[in-house]
C-alpha cells in the first residue's frame, strides 16, 4: 500500500465520520467564540484578563487570585476564580458585567470564522435546528449575529453565561438548556466546539462532538482531551451539507 493510498483512505474515513455526525444531527449546538467567530481577533482577550486583574487589585483584592490565575490571560478563569471565593456576590456580578462590556466592544472587530456563515445558513435551509451554547454573554452573541444577519438561524435558542458561573462549560448546563428547550434527545444532537471544555460538556450531556481547531495548538488540546473527529476548516462540512440541500 502506497503512502498516497493511505492518505486517500484517511481522507475518505474522515469524510465518512463527518457524514455520520451530520446525518445523525437534528439539532446542532454551536460554541460561539471559535466555531462562529474569533471574538477577540481585534480586542485582545489577554488584555481584557489583565484589565480585570488590575481592576480587582485597584480595589485591594490582590489576594483573591493565585499567581497562576493572575497570569492565565483568560478572562473566564479570572471570573470563575472570584466566583469560587465569593459566589453570587455583588463583586462577581460587577466583574461579570465588566467582562460583558469588553465582549460587546470586541464584537465590532470580531473575525467571522471562514465558511461559518454559509454553513449556518445551509444547515438551517435543510431543516436542522440550531442553538448556541457558550460561556460568552448571550447579549454579545445576539449583537454579533445581528451584525451578520444570522439571528433568525438561532433565535430564540441562545444559551450563554448567566449569574450562575458554576454552570459555565465544562458543566453541561447550557447544552442541557438547549436540548430541553428544543425537545431533542442528546443522541440526535451535535456539538461543535473548539476547546476541551466544549468536549467535556458535550460528553456530560451525552451529545456527539465535532472539534474545530484553527491551528495545531488547538488540535493538540482537543486530541489530548479525547476528541475523535476534528476539522481544521468548516469547508468540508459545508461541502457535505450542500450535497444534502
Q: Is the pLDDT of residue 1 over 90?
A: no
Q: What is the DSSP string of 163-205?
A: S-GGGSTTSSHHHHHHHHHHT--GGGEEEEESSHHHHHHHHHH
pLDDT bin (cut points 50, 70, 90) of residue 245 is: low
pLDDT of residue 14: 81
140's CB contacts (< 8 A; 6+ apart) are 32, 39, 100, 103, 104, 106, 107, 160
- For the record, the C-alpha cell of 99 comes out as 467582562
Residue 244 in this model has a pLDDT that exceeds 80: no
Residue 210's CB is within 10 A of a number of other CB atoms, namely 26
Residue 4, pLDDT score: 62
pLDDT at 120 over 60: yes
- Residue reference for cell 449575529: 145
- DSSP strand pairing (27-30 vs 129-133): parallel
Per-residue pLDDT, 2: 55
Helix, strand, coil % over all residues of the chain, rounded to 5: 60, 10, 30
Q: What would the mean pLDDT of 23-52 be, rounded to a whole number?
A: 94
Global pTM value: 0.91
Predicted confidence band of residue 227 (pLDDT cuts 50, 70, 90): very high
- Chain segment 160-203, per-residue pLDDT in tens: 999 889 999 999 999 999 999 999 999 999 999 999 999 999 99
pLDDT, residue 198, reads 98
CA dihedral 95, 97, 103, 108 (to 10 degrees): -140
Amino acid at each position: 500500500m502506497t503512502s498516497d493510498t493511505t492518505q486517500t483512505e484517511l481522507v475518505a474515513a474522515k469524510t465518512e465520520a463527518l457524514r455520520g455526525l451530520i446525518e445523525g444531527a437534528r439539532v446542532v449546538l454551536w460554541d460561539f467564540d471559535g466555531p462562529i467567530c474569533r471574538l477577540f481577533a481585534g480586542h485582545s482577550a489577554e488584555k481584557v484578563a489583565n484589565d480585570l486583574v488590575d481592576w480587582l487589585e485597584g480595589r485591594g483584592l490582590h489576594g483573591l487570585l493565585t499567581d497562576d490565575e493572575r497570569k492565565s490571560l483568560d478572562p473566564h478563569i479570572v471570573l470563575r476564580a472570584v466566583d469560587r471565593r465569593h459566589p453570587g456576590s455583588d463583586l462577581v456580578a460587577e466583574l461579570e458585567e465588566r467582562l460583558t462590556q469588553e465582549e460587546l466592544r470586541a464584537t465590532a472587530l470580531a473575525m467571522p470564522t471562514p465558511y461559518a456563515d454559509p454553513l449556518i445558513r445551509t444547515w438551517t435551509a435543510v431543516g436542522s435546528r440550531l442553538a448556541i451554547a457558550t460561556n460568552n454573554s448571550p447579549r454579545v452573541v445576539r449583537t454579533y449575529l445581528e451584525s451578520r444577519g444570522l439571528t433568525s438561524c438561532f433565535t430564540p435558542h441562545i444559551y450563554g453565561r448567566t449569574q450562575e458561573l458554576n454552570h459555565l462549560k465544562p458543566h453541561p448546563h447550557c447544552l442541557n438548556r438547549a436540548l430541553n428547550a428544543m425537545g431533542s434527545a442528546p443522541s440526535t444532537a451535535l456539538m461543535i466546539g473548539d476547546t476541551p471544555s466544549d468536549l467535556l460538556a458535550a460528553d456530560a450531556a451525552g451529545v456527539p462532538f465535532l472539534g474545530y481547531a484553527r491551528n495545531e495548538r488547538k488540535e493538540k488540546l482537543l486530541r489530548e482531551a479525547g476528541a475523535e473527529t476534528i476539522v481544521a476548516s468548516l469547508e468540508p462540512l459545508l461541502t457535505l451539507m450542500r450535497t444534502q440541500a
